[in-house]
Amino acid sequence: MMVVGARPQFIKSAPLIKEIVTKWKQICITIVHSGQHYDPEMSAIFFRDLGVPEPSLNLRAGSGSHATQTATIMKRLESSVAKAKPDMVIVPGDTNTTLAAALTAAKLGIPVAHVEAGLRSGEMTMPEEINRKLTDHCSMLLFAPTPNAAGNLKKEGLGKLAYLTGDTMVEALKTAMPAVDRKQSEVLSRFDLLQHEYVLATLHRSSNVDDLSRLGEIVHSLSRVAEKMRVVFPVHPRTRARLADLGLLGSLKKNRVTVTAPQGYVENLCLLSNAGCLLTDSGGMQKEAFMLHVPCITLRPVTEWPETLTRKANQLLTRPEMIPNMVSATAGDEELRNDIRHLRNPFGDGHASARIAGVIQRWVRNHRL
């Protein structure tokens, strides 16, 4: 059983699901959707874009505080796991769904496999850091995407459970690129954009959007950037609600920031691959920018992907008032873009899913005997 529930989980799970469904007939996989992300542009569109089977069960957990959401998923998932008695529960990423499913399975005595294990930012105020650490420590199989992640698991005494597999998002990106190539002209035309002459911005982490004073500063800085360079801002539903509370959506549009709904996977990659730079607080998009050779500015003091910080491919920024200057320097730096293009990809060779499926199949076979 694989349990997913949020946009980044759909992306990183799709290659593994397709690998198992098409090549590993001895593994029967059931997909459960927690309902953590329930807006169509954050959920249904991704199953369509990524070409994976629809979930057999949707728990419809919805939103709420971290405790409420995690508890709701656990309560609604428990009976399904107990009834199905799967040989293993697979949990990807570091969302509330990840932790809720891992705890539920572990309490029922079902082995847990964590895809994208071993990530550490060192910042325990981040909900994602809590989720990923606790999930790792109640899992039986840990699939590390990078040597750095595998090293973190070894330091915490989990090395014997860890497998260095590479990152499944490499496969997702490779699979999507033909569609991106076909569609990028249409997407750029739709938003009236020129290649490398705009900034793509995304925000969703609580440290940026729940602190309304900080969110206001970020909006002010985006408006200043838009005075000199186009800004495209696909707005996460939660972020949109916070902006509406502050009355800032109109301000963004008035200041020539292109505010749009979250885009599908292919459309988002079209916007990212052609951007002058990315301004984000997303972990997954830091990786995608690195793999697409797009300079990235991360609005956080730390990152769980230190591999992306090489040669300023990704730069951390904590002070919103510095956004305009950093964007100006980064988006126009062709030497930086060229440097990124020549960096080695630290996320693996694009065969992570086959490795993960192989380990799962052997583990289940050996432990059934």
Q: What is the pLDDT of residues 201-215, one digit of tens each?
A: 999 999 999 999 999
Please tell me if the domain spanning 2-167+348-368 has the same topology as the one spanning 174-341. Answer: yes
Least confident of 33-37, 44-48, 142-146, 320-324: 44-48
Whether the per-residue pLDDT at 128 is higher than 50: the answer is yes
SS (H, E, C) 335-352: HHHHHHHCCCCCCCCCCH
Show the tokens assigned to 216: 């206001």
Which pLDDT value is given to residue 251? 83
Amino acid at 20: I
pLDDT tens, residue by residue, 270-319: 999 999 999 999 999 999 999 999 999 999 999 999 999 999 999 999 99
Whether the per-residue pLDDT at 39 is higher than 90: the answer is no
Name the average pLDDT for the chain. 93
Closest CA to 19 of 149, 213, 175: 175
Which pLDDT value is given to residue 64? 84
- CATH number at 174-341: 3.40.50.2000
Q: Give me the CATH topology for the region 2-167+348-368.
A: Rossmann fold (3.40.50)
Whether the per-residue pLDDT at 193 is higher than 90: the answer is yes
Whether the per-residue pLDDT at 60 is higher than 50: the answer is yes
pLDDT tens, residue by residue, 197-246: 999 999 999 999 999 999 999 999 999 999 999 999 999 888 999 999 88
Which pLDDT value is given to residue 42? 47
Catalytic hit among 66, 204, 236, 342 = 204
Q: How confident is the model at residue 118 (pLDDT cuts 50, 70, 90)?
A: very high
CA distance 92 to 271: 25
Task: Tell me the domain boundaries of the chain.
Answer: 2-167+348-368, 174-341
Which pLDDT value is given to residue 51? 77
Which pLDDT value is given to residue 37? 65
SS (H, E, C) 187-198: HHHHCCCCCCCE
Whether the per-residue pLDDT at 148 is higher than 70: the answer is yes
φ/ψ of 350, rounded to 5, equals 90, 15
125-129 LR contacts (CB < 8 Å, sep 24+): 125/207, 126/205, 126/207, 127/66, 127/96, 127/206, 128/94, 128/95, 128/283, 128/304, 129/94, 129/304
Give the list of residues 6+ apart from residue 134 with CB closer than 8 angstroms, or none: 99, 102, 103
Residues 266 and 180: beta-carbon distance below 8 Å: yes
Give the list of residues 6+ apart from residue 82 with CB closer than 8 angstroms, or none: 108
Task: Establish whether 204 is a catalytic residue.
Answer: yes
Which residue's entry shows tokens 């070894």? 154
Whether the per-residue pLDDT at 369 is higher than 80: the answer is no
Amino acid at 228: K
